[in-house]
A and B are shown apart, each in its own frame.
Chain A
Amino acid sequence: MLAFIAQRLAKAVVVLLAIVVLNFMLIRMAPGDPAMVMAGEAGASDKIFVTQLREKFGLDQPLPVQLYRYVKGIVTLDLGFSFRQQMPVARLIAERLPATLLLTVTAFVISLLLGVLFGTLAARFAGTWADTAITILALIFYATPLFWVALMAILLFSVAMDWLPSFGYETVGANYTGLAHVLDVGAHLILPATTMGLFFMATYARMTRASMLEVKRHDFVKTARAKGLRDAVIQRRHVLRNALLPVVTLAGLQAGTLVGGAVLTETVFAWPGIGRLMYEALLQRDYNLLLGVFVVCSAMVLAFNLITDLIYRAVDPRIEFAS
């Protein structure tokens, strides 16, 4: 198993470098550059101003030189400097990453737990009103755009009922500590994490349901039933366990989006995370910052893929490590 992990890590490094080069080229193909953006925002500019900015950003160098410098930095784990934000990229990302991880991991846990639970229930009571209700709800959440759900949730829970805060990570200026702080962040977390989790929850529910109904028809379930096992045990040990494999695949994919996939939610809820940082860096053509976020996200995706493969094995010991 260790050899498997080592081999995968080595491959990951190569993939990561390829991603860096590819991203670097792709970003540069977009029109405009950071100097132009800043000149535009200033509402006035002249040649000297734009030239000064380009020099500052290192954009006066030929593209291959810029790429070489960037890759050299990455290899030494230096993500570069964001001239726009006047801060090292690594620090900017480190400041914003925890908020995103808190948001997406919560959303991930909510969607996985509830999704599998609802899927199991729907399969268990297939054909009844409960199954229909769950299936319809799942379909709705699956088909509704995230930003719309988010805005509706804000209208209902923040504006109409005034139960939950509509924006931010914590109550600014309140200076809560200890438990009060945890509760405060928690209250701010509920709406974004739930809206973000709904889509995947719906997917997990539908997939678990379909997969369980499929497994149920297999002979080994009939055998278990013939042995006289209790229904709950059959559902849990024989059906669910076998039905979970496709769900794990999907969860692995979702885990890959844990870092970068929160752009919309973070924007609507003014959550100070990395998704927004990436989006703003894109709009401002803050090349170093944008690439930095891409690198971190890519590294995370690679890591999660590896972890998913390890989990397959834990769920189904028949799967062997090979690469």
Chain B
Amino acid sequence: MLKRVLLSLLVASALSTAAFAQEPKSGGVVNAVIQPEPPGLMVGLVQNGPTQMVAGNIYEGLLRYSPKLEPLPGLAESWSVSEDGKIYTFKLRKGVTWHDGKPFTSADVAFSIDFLKQTHPRARGNLAQLDKVETPDDSTVVFTLKQPFGPFLGIFEVGSLPMIPKHIYEGTDYKTNPANNTPIGTGPFMFKEWQKGSFIRLVKNPSYYIKGKPYLDEIYWHVIPDAAARAVAFETGKIDILPGGSVENFDVPRLSKLKNVCVTGAGWEFFSPHSWLWLNNRQGPTANKKFRQALMYAIDRNFAKDVIWNGLAKVATGPSASTIKYYTDKVTTYDYDPAKAKALLKEAGYNGEKVRLLPLPYGETWQRWAEAVKQNLQDVGINAEMIATDVPGWNQKVSDWDYDIAFTYLYQYGDPALGVGRNYVSSQIAKGSPFNNVEGYSNPEIDQLFADGATAFPDSKREEIYLKAQKILTDDVPVAWQLELQFPTITRCNVKNLVTTAIGVNDGFRDAWLDK
């Protein structure tokens, strides 16, 4: 079965390459699943997954990214970097209009930066090195940095830095602006209708700046809360697209065997969801480095990969996912070895204290995974006890550091400075937030390395620094890395050219077309 899934993944990717050769056809309606229902579509204010997925059609960023994470033109058609790596000049595409007909200019870019600094926690972090934004003319934007910031060209994707219409938001209270319910962007599709609890309807932007695009007339995003019901809806032909994570993993092999169904694992290169166990470094057995290393040996990650994730994952080797910049596998690695784990536990002086294991309450797959890990831990003599929570309870427990071992996965955003460092540097230790250095790991050497890595110039220097950081971290095991996850996108095969960039379905359906 595993082989067949991998095979269909290969076939699917081969097919999608072949699709470029075909002439796209215009017209048609596609039905996709959105889960859970997003709280809003104004992506500058709301950043959760479903919002980004729908809003990527309405809003756009200055750049897009290839599967290899090279910047591609978006609303900016070209860009240049000064020799000292501090000044970035963007030339904007001409003739771009907002959905209400107003022209898109450099003033909108400058406004968006201000807007997002107030509302978007990730953008706020990404823009920390930004000194000023200048707009010498309508189609030029100049960003000046306080010091070189290696990943700067990697922060312009639509979810991280969406362009916000100045003429609608300037001088208003952003959060309560009624326009939030009727989002206006520059994207290939326009917001049309949202029947809460049922569907979101987007229609083609007839005056999109790329002639002939988009090809589709309409997109319906259906809200179907039950995972089994989503699988059935796809099976019965009512749904054409199941974005990554729409169905439980154990349904993927079955669905991918259906006739006329294509599966691809592509489109997650930018996010590279990386799962690990948060180990509480402050107290209890997990505060002991030997105990943490024992955990790494005790857990059979290949079993989790093959059985729980149906082969749709890759065993993680360290803090960076293999898909992002400066990754290395020349680090301390931990194979499944219960005997070694037991020996290390003995060395650590573990005396059978109770250890609280917090699963991620995101559905069946995660529940089963936690059960498997609990079994692994018990096999080497760790007294693990599972704590059941719902999502808000999980958030609270993790944010309050009230756990010993907690499942999680985080996005890496293509660069160690954007998505990796935040979990290990001590400046990110802050109670009350679920996605920072929750484990409480503090190592001055690591702090310095990540600080230098972000601003070192040129890139060869950055590489050196991050290789060193990966070595130290894999030896210290501040968290127990598990798997690089894949969230396969499942479609009918007549949906062509859907996933073309590193953010996959989130990048909007501007290139997608239907082969009728």
Contacts and interface: CB of A to CB of B under 8 A. Distances in A.
B157 to A, nearest CB: 14
Contact of B434 (A34, A39, A159, A285): A39
A36 B238 contact: no
Contact of A42 (B31, B121, B175, B394): B121
Interface string A246-284: 000000000000000000000111101100110010011
B47 A42 contact: yes
A188 B367 CA distance: 32
B38 to A, nearest CB: 9
Given A38-B48, A39-B434, A96 B196 contact: yes
Interface string A62-74: 0000000000000
A242 B125 CA distance: 73
Interface of B, secondary structure class, is mixed
A258 B395 CA distance: 33
B432 A47 contact: yes
A285 B392 CA distance: 7
A168 B198 contact: yes
A158 interface: yes
Contact of B124 (A46, A99, A168, A277): A46
B163 interface: no
A169 B37 CA distance: 16
Interface residues on B, range: 35 or more
Contact of A154 (B124, B181, B232): B232
A50 interface: yes
B31, B201, B399, B410: residue with the most chain A Cβ atoms closer than 10 Å: B399
A284 B392 contact: yes
A85 B232 CA distance: 28
B185 to A, nearest CB: 17
Contacts of B433: 39, 45-47, 49-50
A172 B392 contact: no
A280 B390 CA distance: 12
A95 B196 contact: yes
A38 B435 CA distance: 12
Interface stretch (A25-33, A233-241, A292-300): A25-33
A158 B40 CA distance: 32
B276 interface: no
A270 B49 contact: no
A167 B238 contact: yes
Contact of B236 (A43, A44, A159): A159
Contact of B39 (A44, A84, A165, A270): A84
A211 to B, nearest CB: 37
Contact of B396 (A32, A41, A99): A32
A268 B198 contact: no
A268 B226 contact: yes
Contacts of A50: 432-433
A299 B148 CA distance: 62
B395 A37 contact: yes
A94 B289 CA distance: 56
A86 interface: yes
A267 B225 CA distance: 6
Contacts of A44: 47, 121-122, 125, 422, 435
Nearest to A166: B232
Interface in B370-414: 389-397, 399, 410-411
A172 B195 CA distance: 10
Contacts of B6: none
Contacts of B432: 47, 50
B39, B197, B238: residue with the most chain A Cβ atoms closer than 10 Å: B197
B213 interface: no
B355 interface: no
B434 A172 contact: no
Nearest to B122: A44
Contacts of B235: 159
B331 to A, nearest CB: 26
A96 B223 CA distance: 14
Interface residues of A, number: 55
Contacts of B393: 30-32
B198 A273 contact: no
A285 B224 CA distance: 20
A210 interface: no
A36 B434 contact: yes
B10 interface: no
A40, A48, A84, A96: residue with the most chain B Cβ atoms closer than 10 Å: A40
Given A31-B389, A84-B39, A167-B233, A96 B197 contact: yes
B199 interface: yes
A158 B230 CA distance: 13
Contacts of A272: 195-198, 223
B236 A166 contact: yes
A85 B198 contact: no
A317 interface: no
A36, A39, A44, A52: residue with the most chain B Cβ atoms closer than 10 Å: A44
Contacts of A173: 29, 201, 218, 220
B19 interface: no
Contacts of A45: 121, 433-436
Contacts of A90: none
A268 to B, nearest CB: 5
Interface string B430-441: 101111100000
Nearest to A40: B395
A151 interface: yes
Given A44-B122, A159-B236, A280 B198 contact: no
Contacts of A166: 229, 232-233, 236, 238
A43 B410 contact: yes
Contacts of B236: 158-159, 162, 166
B229 A270 contact: yes
A86 B218 CA distance: 25
A37 to B, nearest CB: 5
A85 to B, nearest CB: 6
Given A41-B48, A44-B47, A46-B125, A36 B399 contact: yes
B442 interface: no
A56 B118 CA distance: 14
A206 B435 CA distance: 54
Interface in B181-239: 181, 195-199, 201, 218, 220, 222-226, 228-229, 232-233, 235-236, 238
A273 B195 CA distance: 11
Contacts of A48: 121, 124
Interface of B: 29, 31, 36-37, 39-40, 46-49, 119, 121-122, 124-125, 175, 180-181, 195-199, 201, 218, 220, 222-226, 228-229, 232-233, 235-236, 238, 389-397, 399, 410-411, 422, 430, 432-436
22 contacts: A31-B389, A31-B392, A32-B393, A37-B391, A38-B46, A40-B394, A43-B410, A45-B435, A47-B432, A49-B121, A86-B40, A86-B181, A92-B196, A159-B232, A166-B236, A166-B238, A167-B229, A270-B198, A270-B225, A273-B197, A284-B392, A285-B392
Interface of A: 30-34, 36-50, 52, 56, 84-87, 92, 95-96, 99, 151, 154-155, 158-159, 162, 165-169, 172-173, 267-270, 272-273, 276-277, 280, 283-285
The 3 closest A-B pairs by CB, nearest first: A32-B392, A272-B197, A41-B48
